[in-house]
Structures are given as C-alpha cells and as structure tokens.
Chain A
C-alpha cells in the first residue's frame, strides 16, 4: 500500500546491515571460496565477527586492508597483493571481490583491474568475480542477491553462450534468499527433491553453515555448493527463486541461457507452502509425498490449538524486506494484528505490499509498535522490547541470544508450525508473567 519513513536526521539503533556482509554470506555457501573485501580492515573485521556470532562457525573472509595512503595513491596495489597471496597460499575455487563504499567513493576501478589480472595470469578453472556493494544503498538482502547475480554472470561468461546446451529437465536450480537459515535451505532442498528432482542450491549455506566437525583447518569455506555443481546448474530445466530479491539472478539466467524461472515471494505459512507444493506437484506429475500431507494436518491442528493464544494479540516485525513479506503472510494466517511492519530499505516487493510498511530502524519499531504484544526482529531488538514490555522473538540477522537460531526452520509446514508454537509460547509466558505480577502488587 504505502511505504513510509519517519522524519529524523540520524539512524537510531539501526537494523540495516552493510551490503558487503550479504556478499560474504552468499560466498559462504560456495565450496572452497574466499570472499575478499576491498576496503579497510574494519570492513572485513565487523562482518566476520558478526557472522561468527550468529552462525557460531568460523567464517572465511579476507581483506585488502586499505590504509589512507593506499586509497589516495593506488588501492588496487593492495588488492593485487591480496589476490597473489590468497591464490598462491590457499588456491580457492571461487574468489569474490567485494567493493565497499570506500573504494566506491574513491573511484577505484577494480573490475578492470580484475580483468587484466585474470588475463595476465591466464587464470582458468576458477571463478573470480567482483561486485560493487557500497553501504549507502540497500542492505544485507541486496548485497546477497547482487553477489549471486554476479556469480551467475561469471559462470555464464565462463561456459559461454553455447546454443547446444543440453537441458536436464529433472534438475532444478534453487536460489534461496538471504533470509533463509541453513535449515531452511535444507528443508527446501528436501521438499523439491522429494518430487524426484535433482536440486542444486546456489548458494548452499545448508552444507556450510549448518555446523559440522570437519578437521583440518582451512581459511577457505569448508562446505557449500562446489564449483562443478555450480557450473552444472546452468543445465537445469528450471530455476526456483525464494524471496523477491532473488528474482533478478533468476532473470539473469533466463535472459542469458533461457532457463525458465518461478519466484516464490513468501516461503512461510500454510498458503505459501501450499503454493510451493502444488507447483512442484504440477510440474513433476508426482503426488505430494505423504509426509507433507501429514505435516499439513499437523500445522492446521497446531494453529487450531494456538488460536486462543493469538486472539486479540498484536505483533510488530522489523526484518529485511523479503523476510518481512514472508513473516507478514504467516502473521496474516494467525489472525493477529500487525501493529507495525518495519524494514531496512525499500524494494519493489515491499512497495507492492497491501499493508503499510515503514522503512526505518529499531527506534522506529519502538515508537510505532508501542503497545504490541510480540516483537519480532534481530537480537538488537532485545533492549527495545524490554523498554516497551513486549515479548521478544529473535529472527533474521543477527541473532546471538539464542542457541541454534541458525538451525530453526521457517519454511514448509514444519517451519510454520515451529514458528507458531514459538510465538505462542512466548505470548503464553508473557501472560503468565503478567498474572503473577498483578497478584504480587495487589
């Protein structure tokens, strides 16, 4: 309906996350990859620390460690040095050079530099690409999807626009959005493959950030989709994108090599899952597996059990655009009032929503959501929820106050059930707390 902004000069308690962090996250989903942030040391130290805190995993990341004089004279000298070192020491399959606001404002042309570098060194076999991601535009979500797009571009370039590509109709490329947890990606892969498809997720954080004990330290990513699968994905018969932000990379595949695509904007709740399963049923001709029929029943039953809990309740959600859209759809089904919806930046999906959405920060959430019963946002929202006496449910990125947050499922019937129960429990506890305190004060 409308996208609003509160008028204030400064951002107070920002929920926006630098785009480059999204790029780093995307690259974690590729096997033996190394994201390289072209900026000063902090530009990589902060994302690394934050991603580590959220996923509780080591994060592969390097920096060109720009200092003042490097920016003034020749920032690309540092990048070359970094590339030389990373290539000779670790031999990554994939390198993503991530430009920051610093290189953007200074006008550093690292894209051309990378081209020359690749030509001079005769680099073949690996995937090296660059992506421009200054922080004064977008947020985590746009950084993530732009990186996937740049990655796909590079893949297409490398394989070339051959007309004689063999198409594998039983293979689907899945483009999961940045708001999906490793467990979500795993669930989506499972759902799609249960209809008899081969799935290649691009990127695939479900095999890299889901937690596994591999010994033998490597500074590169130790899981994710391997390069040969990535290239093989160009032969997929269909692209499924989850999240509105992933439409652009899907369209890129369509325009370059003609792969048809389908975008699922929402991924949470009964309706969204129904749509996904119905679609898969139609294109595969296979019946919907029995376990999902069961899960659907389970979800409906648990929603029925919980509906007393949600009746008359109001919720505020402050999340990245795609995530907000998805969560809003689920809230709709619970029958709760959506007191305030706040997001980090405006996207076409958000602009097209039927509800009123605010672009802002967690301070806006505190003001606009006053009187809400449940607060859904990243862990930065804890303080605000406390100040307003709202039950707090961590979601999105980053979440550091809850163990296993990165493994919680939100997609599919199972995800909707997990979230409904979690939200219902929080409201129940809050109610009990209120009752207790009113007795005490009598």
Chain B
C-alpha cells in the first residue's frame, strides 16, 4: 500500500487517478461538515453483504456509525454486524496487532465469512500498526481473503475514502476469481450502493432488456461476484466522483470500456440503458432496450400526469454531493420542478459543468457554507422545497420548509422509471401536507386583537 501522504493526494483530483489541477479542498476547522475518509470507505464496502467488516480502533468509529447507512441486502446480513477491536489504553500503549489478529481469527471461526475487510482508523494509523502485515499473515493462515482498507479518517474527505476503498478492491479483490461457467457476463455497476433498494429497481430494468449484471460494486453485492468483475464487458459508473478511478484503472488493466451514467430521471435512465447496449456491441440488445424504454417512458408519463400538474413551476433548492448534484436536476426537470439553487461543494469540475448544462442562468450555486447558507438561498429564491441529506433535514423542518431526503440514510428509492414516479409522489405529499399551514398559523389567543391600544 502506498503511504497515505497528504501532499500526494493534493496533486490529484478526487475520484481520478490521472492528475488534475484542482485538489480536494481542505476542510475548514470550525466550519467543516460531512464525514471522514473512514466513513467513505465504509459506505463503499459495507454493501458487500456477506463479508465481515472489522474496524480496527477505539470503539466510537464503529460504535457511533454502524447501522446508519441505508444500503439494503436481499440475503446475507453479516455486513450489518458491527465488528470492532475496541482498543483500550493498554492496547494503544503496547500495540493492538495481537488483538487484531485474535479478532480476525474469532470472526473467521464463528461466522465463516467469504472475506474480512479490516479498516484502519486515525488512532491505529497514528501509532503505526502494521495492518497490512497482520492481514496478509492472517489470510495465509486461515485461508480466506483478509483485506486491509487503509483509509483512516484524518487523511481526508468522505470522497477520498470512497476512492481508497476502490483502490483496496483493485488491489486485493478484482481479478482474484473467475465467474462460474453458467454466469451471463454483462455490465458492472460501479458506485451504486443499493440505498433504499434502488439497485433492485435498476436490475429489474436491465434484466427485462436482457442485460446481465456481472458485479455490483457494491450495492447488495456478494464478495465472490466482485472477484470476477474483470470479466465484465462494460463498466457503468453510477457515482462518478467516488469510483471513476476504479473504472479508469479497469479500462487500462483489462480493457473494459466504461461510461458515466445515472438512473435519476427517465431520460437519464433511458440513456444509461442505451449506452450499455451500445457498448456491449449487440444490435439485438439495442433493439430490446429501445422497445423497453419506449414502453416504460410511455407508461411513466401516463402515471405522472396528475403529479406533473401539481409540481409544474415549483421551485427547489438542491444540496447534495457528487453525482446526485446534477443527475437529480434532470429528474426534477422532467417533473417540471425548477432548481433555483444547487450545492456544489462536493462536486468535481465535471459535475459542475454538467450542472451548468442542466440548469438555467438564474440558478444560484452554493459552493459551501452549510445550513445557514442553504436556508438563505431558500428564502431569497422563494423556493418551495429543499432536497438534501438527512443531517440537514431538521434544519429545514424547523424553518418549516418542505424537505426530501436524498442521501444515503434515506428510505425511498428514486432510481429508474419507478423511482421517478416515487419521487413525484414524495414531492407531492411533502408539498401538500397540511402541517405547513398548521405550523404557520398562530395559536388562537395569539390571533386575537389586543383589547386596547397600547
């Protein structure tokens, strides 16, 4: 593993291995928001549902964060277990490597997972635990892959953590296995984490067009399928900021073509499916995709009609990271919702360009500034609704602004054609809820005119 040197990362843009000019911004002390690299690495790897995920460090890194991410599983649930080495004072002083080794053995013996991911944390990185060596030794001894994920919180942002997790997959997982003979090879979905079951909607669509999913990286994934990801014929990068580097590297190593796409909104969904068929170089498949998308779009526009009527002309402020910053705009536009403000603090230059392609000139860009800045934009631009992550939900609600949760803790799936319909419904329910009127009207005794002039 390369040393985790700050200056090396600064020379690279987030999400790509090729150097670019703009470095990951340094978080501002006293005004920083969002998770750390450790969080990012877990977001990427926890959806490998049958693997065990062991956090090597003091308790809070695991204790405060397990079961907080909304990636769903269709079967195994081992990744929902919280495993931690739970270091104490003496472990810190005398080293936690022995405890780590024992923990790996214990987990392997009791749960028999196909693989164990071991995450470093700030403290274990700081005291110089040789996690790579312990993992390698353990893997040789117990005969299952034990994968070190060197993404302690203090190396940087959540996005960097996504990327470091991608690096771990490239280094230790992808290319270590071969697909079963009867496996139908097709597309790798990269950076789709099955939040609220979105992956299932997407897979259903792909299957009806006859496109097979080779590996899910990593929504509702099984460890084994990622080992043979290098045999896929196409890579689709769903969340580009985080794992674009992975796709680029796979193109270089294995010659798999990739494209960046999204499943938010009917147009984007259609485009993504078409792109898959095109890159698979299969005429018959392209025809099937055309038929499917036509049918689905027609059905969708029928079902959307009542909601479109209500949503037309509504104004929204969107504050989310990465790929969703631009892809959700397309979805909203199809519903007739105008995006009057959009957060760009976690977007790459490419993302910002894509945002610019999709919004009008009067849309305000919110580069940073957190909650207060967001509220200000909502007020100034007379927005009807705010769409952002769960941490900001109650900030909006206290200000009595209708709110839709779009980030990884949410419980509603918005991907694909079904997802767009769901989004339309959610927006409508949120906007038409009686609570906004009730909360805005004062108590009867406050309404009464004063009995005399003061």
Residues of A within 8 A of B (CB): 8-21, 36, 39-50, 52-53, 56-58, 62-71, 78-79, 81-86, 89, 100-102, 105-106, 134-137, 139, 213-215, 217-219, 363, 379-380, 383
Interface centre among B30, B77, B92, B126, by most chain A C-beta atoms within 10 angstroms, is B30
B282 at the interface (CB under 8 A from A): no
Q: Are B395 and A18 in contact (CB under 8 A)?
A: no
Can you list 8 residue pairs at the A/B interface with Cβ under 8 Å? A9-B85, A12-B81, A16-B59, A49-B391, A63-B29, A65-B29, A69-B6, A213-B400
Binds A, one of B13-21, B151-159, B424-432: B151-159
Binds A, one of B101-109, B191-199, B286-294, B340-348: B101-109
A81 to B375, CA, bound (A): 25
Select one of A9, A41, A215 contacting B35, CB under 8 A.
A41
Point out the residues of chain A lying under 8 angstroms from B153, CB to CB.
Answer: 40-43
A14–B82 contact, CB under 8 A?
yes
* CB-contacts of B71-91 with A (<8 A): 77, 80-89, 91
Give the residue name and chain of the A residue nearest to B374 (CB). Answer: A217
Q: How far is the CA of A214 from the CA of B60 in the complex (A)?
A: 32
- The 8 A-B pairs with the shortest beta carbon distances in the complex, nearest first, are A18-B60, A42-B36, A82-B30, A85-B30, A9-B102, A10-B103, A82-B29, A135-B58
Q: Could you tell me if B409 and A135 are in contact, using CB atoms closer than 8 angstroms?
A: no
- Out of A17, A50, A66, A105, name the residue touching B68 (CB < 8 Å): A50
A84 neighbours in B (Cβ, 8 Å): 30
Residues of B within 8 A of A219 (CB): 370-372
A213 to B441, CA, bound (A): 12
B contact residues around A86 at 8 Å (CB): 30
Contact residues, B1-44 vs A (CB, 8 A): 4-6, 26-39
Q: Chain A residues with Cβ under 8 A from B391's Cβ?
A: 48-49, 52
- In the docked arrangement, what's the CA distance between A49 and B123, Å? 21
Residue of A68, A69, A82 most packed against chain B (CB within 10 A) = A68
* Interchain CA distance A263-B83 in the complex, whole Å: 36
Task: Determine the residue in chain A with the shortest Cβ distance to B90.
Answer: A136
Question: In residues 371-430 of chain B, which contact A (Cβ within 8 Å)?
Answer: 371-372, 375, 390-391, 393-395, 398-400, 409
Q: Quick one: which of B6, B88, B122, B156 contacts A136, CB cutoff 8 A?
A: B88
- A71-B126 in contact given A10-B107, A14-B63 (Cβ < 8 Å): yes
A68→B400 CA distance, assembly (Å): 40
Indicate if B302 sits at the interface (CB-CB under 8 A): no
Min CB–CB distance B345 → chain A (angstroms)? 13
Task: State whether the Cβ of B65 lies closer than 8 Å to any Cβ in chain A.
Answer: yes
The answer to the question of B234 belonging to the interface, with a C-beta cut-off of 8 Å to chain A, is no
Beyond the given A10-B85, A63-B27, A105-B92, could you list 17 further A-B residue pairs with CB under 8 A, ordered by the A residue number?
A10-B84, A10-B106, A13-B66, A14-B84, A41-B153, A46-B61, A49-B68, A50-B64, A57-B398, A67-B155, A69-B6, A83-B30, A85-B30, A100-B60, A139-B59, A215-B398, A217-B399
Known: A46-B35, A50-B64, A215-B399. A13 touches B82 (CB 8 A): yes
The docked-state distance in angstroms from the alpha carbon of A66 to that of B77 is 33
Question: Which residues of chain A are near B126, meaning CB under 8 Å?
Answer: 71, 102, 105-106
Residues on the B chain within 8 Å of A56, using CB: 394
Nearest chain A CB to B116 CB, angstrom units: 11
Q: A52-B390, A64-B29, A136-B89 are in contact. Are A102 and B122 (CB under 8 A)?
A: yes
Smallest CB separation, A235 vs chain B (Å)? 34
CB-nearest residue of chain A to B63: A14
CA distance A32 to B102 in the complex (A): 46
The answer on a CB contact under 8 Å between B58 and A14 is: no
Does B331 sit at the interface, judged by CB under 8 A?
no
Report how far A49 CA is from B67 CA in the complex, Å.
Answer: 12
On whether the beta carbons of B59 and A18 are closer than 8 Å, the reply is yes
Picked from B31, B59, B87, B102, the residue with its CB within 8 Å of the CB of A85 is: B31
Cβ of B54 under 8 Å from chain A: yes
Q: B154 contacts A71, CB within 8 Å?
A: yes
Contact B92 A45 (CB under 8 A): no
A-B CB contacts (within 8 Å), total count: 225
Q: Is B62 an interface residue (CB 8 A)?
A: yes
A57 CA / B154 CA spacing, docked (Å): 27
Interchain CB contact under 8 A, B394 and A66? no
In the assembled complex, the CB of B159 is this many whole angstroms from the nearest CB of chain A, namely 12
The reply to whether B86 and A16 form a contact with Cβ atoms under 8 Å apart is yes
Question: If A9-B85, A105-B92 touch, does A68 touch B155 (CB 8 Å cutoff)?
Answer: yes
How far in angstroms is the closest Cβ of chain A from B24? 10
Residues of A close to B77: CB separation below 8 A: 383
Residue of B nearest to A62 (CB): B30
In the bound complex, CA of A56 to CA of B405 (Å): 13
Q: Are B39 and A136 in contact (CB under 8 A)?
A: no
Shortest Cβ gap from B28 to chain A (Å): 7
The answer, yes or no, to whether B358 is at the interface (CB within 8 Å) is no
A58 near B122 (CB under 8 angstroms)? no
CA distance A64 to B393 in the complex (A): 24
Q: When the two chains form their complex, are residues B60 and A17 in contact, meaning their CB atoms are under 8 A apart?
A: yes
Query: Quick one: which of B119-136 are within 8 Å of A by CB?
Result: 122-123, 125-127
- Best-buried of A21, A64, A101 by chain B (most CB within 10 Å): A101
**Bound: A45/B27 CA distance, A:** 13
Minimum CB–CB distance from B158 to chain A (whole Å) comes to 8
Q: Quick check: is B252 within 8 A (CB to CB) of the other chain?
A: no
Return chain A residues, CB-CB under 8 Å to B123.
Answer: 101-102, 105
CA gap between A44 and B153 in the complex, in Å? 11
Q: Given that A41-B157, A86-B30, A214-B398 are known contacts, is A68 also in contact with B4, CB under 8 Å in the complex? A: yes
Residues of B within 8 A of A39 (CB): 122
Q: What are the residues of chain A within 8 A of B54 when measuring CB–CB? A: 10
Contact A136 B64 (CB under 8 A): no
Given contacts A9-B102, A105-B126, A217-B371, contact A62 B390 (CB under 8 A): no
Interface set, chain B 132-187, CB cutoff 8 A to A: 152-157
Specify which chain A residues have a CB less than 8 angstroms from the CB of B66 in the assembled complex: 13-14, 380
Q: Which B residues are in CB contact (< 8 Å) with A66?
A: 122, 154
**Do B154 and A11 touch across chains, with their CB atoms under 8 A apart?**
no
Flag if B32 contacts A62 (CB, 8 Å): yes
- A110 to chain B: closest CB distance in Å? 12
B138: min CB distance to chain A, Å: 12
B395 → chain A closest CB, angstroms: 5
**B135 CB, min distance to chain A CBs, angstroms:** 15
Query: For the complex, what is the distance from the CA of A48 to the CA of B393, rounded to whole Å?
Result: 12
| A20 and B154 in contact, given A10-B85, A12-B83, A46-B35 (Cβ under 8 angstroms) | no
Distance (whole angstroms) from the CB of B137 to the closest CB of chain A: 16
B99 contacts the other chain (Cβ, under 8 Å)? yes
CA–CA, A68 and B54, complex, Å: 22
Residues of B within 8 A of A62 (CB): 30-32
Complex formed: what's the CA distance from A18 to B62 in Å? 9
**Residue B449 at the A interface, CB < 8 A?**
no
Bound CA span A15–B156, Å:
27
Indicate if the CB atoms of B36 and A45 lie closer than 8 Å: yes
A21 in contact with B60 (CB, 8 Å): yes
> Which A residue sits closest to B105, measured CB to CB?
A9
Is A17 a contact of B63 with CB atoms below 8 Å? yes
| Nearest-Cβ distance from residue A76 to partner chain B, whole angstroms | 11
- Within the assembled complex, what's the spacing in Å between the Cα atoms of A251 and B282? 78
CB distance from A316 to the nearest CB of B (A): 18
Q: In chain B, what residue has the closest Cβ to A36?
A: B30
Contact of B59 with A11 in the complex, beta carbons under 8 Å: yes
Among A15, A46, A58, point to the contact of B394 (Cβ < 8 A): A58
Question: With A18-B60, A49-B390, A85-B28 known to touch, is A41 a contact of B83 (CB < 8 Å)?
Answer: no
Q: How far is the CB of A41 from chain B (nearest CB, A)?
A: 4
Cα of A81 to Cα of B398 in the assembled complex, Å? 29
Docked CA distance A41–B395 (Å): 20
Is A18 touching B63 in the complex (CB atoms < 8 A)? Answer: yes
List of B residues within 8 angstroms of A65 by Cβ: 26-30, 32
Residue of A nearest to B35 (CB): A45
Complex-state Cα separation, A9 to B56, whole angstroms: 12
User: Could you tell me which residues of chain B, from 319 to 339, have a CB within 8 Å of some CB in chain A?
Assistant: none
- In the complex where A16-B86, A105-B127, A136-B92 touch, is A68 in contact with B154 (Cβ < 8 A)? yes
The answer to whether B60 touches A43 (Cβ under 8 A) is yes
- Docked Cα-Cα span, A385 to B237, in Å, equals 38
